[in-house]
Amino acid sequence: MKKIAVLTSGGDAPGMNAAIRAVVRQSIFNQVSVVGIRYGYQGLLEGDYLPLEVGSVGDIIHKGGTSLFTSRCPEFKTEQGQIHGMRRLQKNGIDGLVVIGGDGSFRGAQKLSRLGFPTVGIPATIDNDIVGTDFTIGFDTAVNTVIEAIDKVRDTATSLERIFVIEVMGRSKGDIALWAGLSAGAESILVPGVKPDMDAIVKRLIQGKQRHKKHSIIVVAEGVSSADQVAKAITEKSGLETRVTVLGHIQRGGSPSAADRLLGSRLGARAVDQLLAGKSGVMVGVKNNCLVDVPFEIAISENHELSISLYELAQSLAI
């Protein structure tokens, strides 16, 4: 393998730059040249390729977003697009590809590897919804961003003795809500897969008021409901006044945490090592702090499960 390409695809995530840097530096360390593909699969199809040197990835490890930019590319979902993409890579003398992204991006990567093009994936999405890895790049930073926001909301909630319903991202999964809700001391956390018990939530709020509790924070994963709907249901059931905060895309930005920089660096180097060892059709991940390889078909399965023990802990600590 003489030349490797790297791209970022789908939703950006803090720590993607650390992974790009590691792919580039680990390749050069192994005397392999490396090309950055800008704008994900769109750039792959259009030939938006950029030779990268050691210095090209200097000064990016601390930056959010992705220095290679990203995109959503419907054309790559077609077989014609995938074959065209593979030919384009081959014409540019590229022998292997590293795809940094989420499950959608891995579906594209899986197609390329099935066509016979050596392809390895690195999980990067704030949602932490990839099977076979304990963490995805960007999740830790997003959780920290949410905690910081909730801490701020709590200041005003306490001052006015208010109830806040805070909506967080996560697509159809609840890891951001659960980890951030628990870490921020939320009274209730609503996550996909656990039927919301509005009566219990309201009862807890009323009991809190009776105990002269000064604030209440309810965290809602976007995959369950909107914060507006939850707030409305609370007011209808109890007459209690609520306020709503939808955190939105601030959760995807910002300087990556130490954990995400470390994960990006470890997985970036591992992806190159695996390509050089002749592997393809796998995502590199981390399990119990050890690096692992996971076939794409497992990584993209819908089986990512929420930690029930963490959910129960959040419930018992919020009494």
Question: Which option in ligand ADP, ligand F6P, none does residue 101 bind, with CB closer than 5 to 8 A by kind?
Answer: ligand ADP
- CB–CB of 161/214 below 8 Å? yes
C-beta of 207: minimal distance to ligand F6P in Å?
32
Q: Which residues from 74-103 bind ligand ADP, rule CB under 6 A?
A: 76-77, 101-103
Residue 315 identity = Q
In the bound state with ligand F6P, the residue whose beta carbon lies nearer, of 96 and 132, is: 132
Cα distance between residue 184 and residue 161, in whole Å: 17
Size (the chain), residues? 319
In the bound state with ligand F6P, the residue whose beta carbon lies nearer, of 112 and 177, is: 177
Interface residue list for ligand F6P (CB under 6 A):
11, 102, 125-127, 169-171, 222, 252
What's the token pair of residue 225? 């409901």
Helices (H) and strands (E) in the chain, counts: 11, 11
Question: Which option in ligand ADP, ligand F6P, none does residue 126 bind, with CB closer than 5 to 8 A by kind?
Answer: ligand F6P
C-beta of 223: minimal distance to ligand ADP in Å?
14
- CB–CB of 285/133 below 8 Å? yes
C-beta of 105: minimal distance to ligand ADP in Å?
3
Catalytic residues, which ones?
127
Question: Which option in ligand ADP, ligand F6P, none does residue 285 bind, with CB closer than 5 to 8 A by kind?
Answer: none
Does residue number 104 form part of the binding site for ligand ADP (CB under 6 A)? Answer: yes
Residue 192, C-beta contacts closer than 8 angstroms, at least 6 positions apart: 170, 172, 173, 174, 221, 223, 224, 306
Task: Mark residues 153-182: x for contact with ligand ADP by CB under 6 A, - for none.
Answer: ------------------------------
Does residue number 8 form part of the binding site for ligand ADP (CB under 6 A)? Answer: no
Query: How far is residue 12 from each of residues 17, 142, 211, 260, measured CA to CA in Å?
Result: 10, 12, 43, 13
* Residue among 292, 273, 267 nearest 139 (CA): 267
Return the bridge partners of 33, or none: 3
Q: Which positions lie near ligand ADP, rule CB under 6 A? A: 9-11, 41, 72-73, 76-77, 101-105, 107-108, 111, 125
